[in-house]
Copies of this chain bind each other. A is one copy, B any other.
Amino acid sequence: MHLSFRFRSWMFSTGVAALLCGISPAVAETSLDFIAAQGPTLDRIVNDALAHPRAYERLVTLCDRHGHRLSGSPGLEAALDWAVHTMKEEGHVNVGREEVEVPQWIRGVESATVLTPRRTPLAMLGLGNSVGTAPGGVEAEVVTVSSKEELKSLGKTVHGKIVLFNNPMPKWTTENGPCYGETVQFRVHGPSMAAEQGAVAVLVRSVTARSLRTPHTGTLFYQEGTTRLPAAAISTEDADFIARRQAAGETVRVHLAMEAHWGTPVKSANVVAELRGRELPHEIVIVSGHMDSWDVGQGAHDDGSGVVMAMETLAALKRLGIRPRRTIRVVLWTNEENGMAGAKQYLKTHASELPNHVAAIEADLGGFAPSAFGVKSADEGVQSRAVVELETLLHHINRHAIGASGDLFIKPGSSAPDVYRFANEGVPALGLYTHDEHYFDYHHTEADTVDKVDPQELARSTAALTALTWLIAEMPTRLGSGEGSASH
């Protein structure tokens, strides 16, 4: 899951940005001085990442050996064990599982079939966290809507019906990006919207602009106090079919059967590993991805790619003998897709350590070439200063031309799903953005397989992530501190 934001270019030159943010340009210049001295090390990091498709090879191993990895599945636990084993073998320290209790949602057998005007099986996937239907399923007429307002205008006529939310995702454009946030609201909140008007079940047009009869699952959230309706995604083709028949004046009846249910919560874990800092080992920079996925495909882009980029960050620095000033901690989150139990538990387990967290970085927008880093902090001063400092760091990374279309840039105010809670605590939370034109073709589908990842694009994102993580761990001032000098 990733709530995207409008794609806007923030191409401030460092000096201009510093002035706009009311920070002394001296800070930026201090950082620049520091960075200039790091050039050869930065070169080594980027060249190493681009020279060999190590992240991709790691991804193949993860995806082919363990497949998809939903919370509560043996696949997830085996993959977490694999990560522990691998990172121990690579000689990292403080490698291990940090226990997290995760929910266990079980899909079971499911189907959706148009009964009238013509019996047609629909390409469907139940939505994650949905309740199931009664045994034997539910059968009702379908009412199709394309907005919350349209649904409300129908009033009580929705009673006893199946509501189809038929909102096509716009095509990806450079200017607007994927428009995921605008489209996914019906998958997330549609079931409760429909329940308020007495519907008996919900179908949602899959959140994608490109389909080969491909249903996309993903989580829903039931609003407290509303009836929990069974809900499934259907392919865009099937949504179009239903809408066409209705536009032609025909009544469409659908039978929906879902065995979806909750099992007992089970033990899972976040996996952690560290490269201890040489001067400020108590200060921590998190680099992360989430290990769990939906129960389809291989979870290759979402988020096997983030996992291997984080692992490779640590492995590369160790391989190159680069030990930064601060500690870099890899975290491979569990349960991002349907509960965020991993991220929530981390904040509890590490509550006393939280003030020592300098930044929390996550890659969760696929293994495509890099485009930007989001940065967010609830402390506006921290965020403003971090933006300026990060632009300085990126200026040097951009010399290596690893961005997908031009320079990498900073997107203030956004981060990534497992780390945004750090932002709420005042810790700068960062998210890697990629050239995501095709991300939502594969997202949460059977087609999110490792062949969709280009080894060189993944290497470029790995280079960006490793370089920025290292620079944040190495810079003399703490990110966003505005201290203007080394913090030791």
Chain A residues with CB under 8 Å of chain B are 60, 64-67, 117-118, 120, 123, 210-214, 236-237, 240-241, 244-245, 248, 297, 441-442, 445-447, 449-451
Q: Chain B contacts of A245 at CB under 8 A?
A: 64
Q: Is B123 a contact of A446 with CB atoms below 8 Å?
A: yes
Q: Is B237 a contact of A447 with CB atoms below 8 Å?
A: yes
Q: State the Cβ distance, A86 to closest chain B Cβ, in Å.
A: 16
Q: Is A67 a contact of B118 with CB atoms below 8 Å?
A: yes
- Residue with the highest number of chain B CB atoms closer than 10 Å, among A64, A118, A211: A64
Closest B residue to A449 by beta carbon equals B237
Pairs A–B under 8 Å by Cβ, sample size 13: A64-B117, A64-B241, A64-B244, A64-B245, A64-B248, A66-B118, A211-B212, A211-B447, A212-B447, A213-B297, A214-B447, A237-B451, A240-B449
Q: A210-B212, A212-B447 are in contact. List 8 more A-B contacts (CB 8 A).
A: A64-B245, A65-B117, A211-B447, A212-B212, A212-B441, A213-B214, A213-B297, A240-B449
- Per the bound structure, the CA–CA distance linking A118 and B60 in Å amounts to 14
Q: State the Cβ distance, A57 to closest chain B Cβ, in Å.
A: 10
Closest B residue to A441 by beta carbon equals B212
Q: Is A244 a contact of B212 with CB atoms below 8 Å?
A: no
Closest B residue to A123 by beta carbon equals B446
- Per the bound structure, the CA–CA distance linking A123 and B448 in Å amounts to 13
- Per the bound structure, the CA–CA distance linking A241 and B65 in Å amounts to 10
Q: State the Cβ distance, A305 to closest chain B Cβ, in Å.
A: 16
Q: Is A67 a contact of B212 with CB atoms below 8 Å?
A: no
Q: Is A451 a contact of B67 with CB atoms below 8 Å?
A: no
Q: Chain B contacts of A60 at CB under 8 A?
A: 244
- Per the bound structure, the CA–CA distance linking A2 and B267 in Å amounts to 54
- Residue with the highest number of chain B CB atoms closer than 10 Å, among A212, A241, A297: A212
Q: State the Cβ distance, A83 to closest chain B Cβ, in Å.
A: 17
Q: Is A213 a contact of B447 with CB atoms below 8 Å?
A: yes
Q: Chain B contacts of A240 at CB under 8 A?
A: 449, 451
Q: Is B118 a contact of A451 with CB atoms below 8 Å?
A: no
Q: State the Cβ distance, A447 to closest chain B Cβ, in Å.
A: 4
Q: Chain B contacts of A445 at CB under 8 A?
A: 212-213
- Per the bound structure, the CA–CA distance linking A212 and B212 in Å amounts to 6
Q: State the Cβ distance, A150 to closest chain B Cβ, in Å.
A: 21
Q: Is B241 a contact of A446 with CB atoms below 8 Å?
A: no
Q: State the Cβ distance, A110 to closest chain B Cβ, in Å.
A: 15
Q: Chain B contacts of A447 at CB under 8 A?
A: 211-214, 237
Q: Is B67 a contact of A446 with CB atoms below 8 Å?
A: no
- Per the bound structure, the CA–CA distance linking A420 and B400 in Å amounts to 57
Q: State the Cβ distance, A268 to closest chain B Cβ, in Å.
A: 20
- Per the bound structure, the CA–CA distance linking A214 and B237 in Å amounts to 14
> 5 tightest CB-CB pairs across the interface, nearest first?
A212-B447, A213-B446, A212-B212, A213-B447, A237-B449
| A211-B212, A214-B212 known; A241+B118 contact, CB < 8 A | no
Q: Chain B contacts of A446 at CB under 8 A?
A: 123, 212-213
Closest B residue to A452 by beta carbon equals B237
Q: Is B213 a contact of A64 with CB atoms below 8 Å?
A: no
Q: Chain B contacts of A237 at CB under 8 A?
A: 447, 449, 451
- Per the bound structure, the CA–CA distance linking A193 and B445 in Å amounts to 35
Q: State the Cβ distance, A232 to closest chain B Cβ, in Å.
A: 17
- Residue with the highest number of chain B CB atoms closer than 10 Å, among A211, A236, A442: A211
Q: Which of B118, B213, B449 contacts A449 (CB 8 A)?
A: B213
Q: Is B67 a contact of A120 with CB atoms below 8 Å?
A: yes
Closest B residue to A236 by beta carbon equals B451
Q: State the Cβ distance, A479 to closest chain B Cβ, in Å.
A: 39
Q: Chain B contacts of A441 at CB under 8 A?
A: 212
Q: Is A118 a contact of B65 with CB atoms below 8 Å?
A: yes
Q: State the Cβ distance, A134 to closest chain B Cβ, in Å.
A: 26
Q: Chain B contacts of A117 at CB under 8 A?
A: 64-65
Closest B residue to A442 by beta carbon equals B212
Closest B residue to A214 by beta carbon equals B212
Q: Is A449 a contact of B64 with CB atoms below 8 Å?
A: no
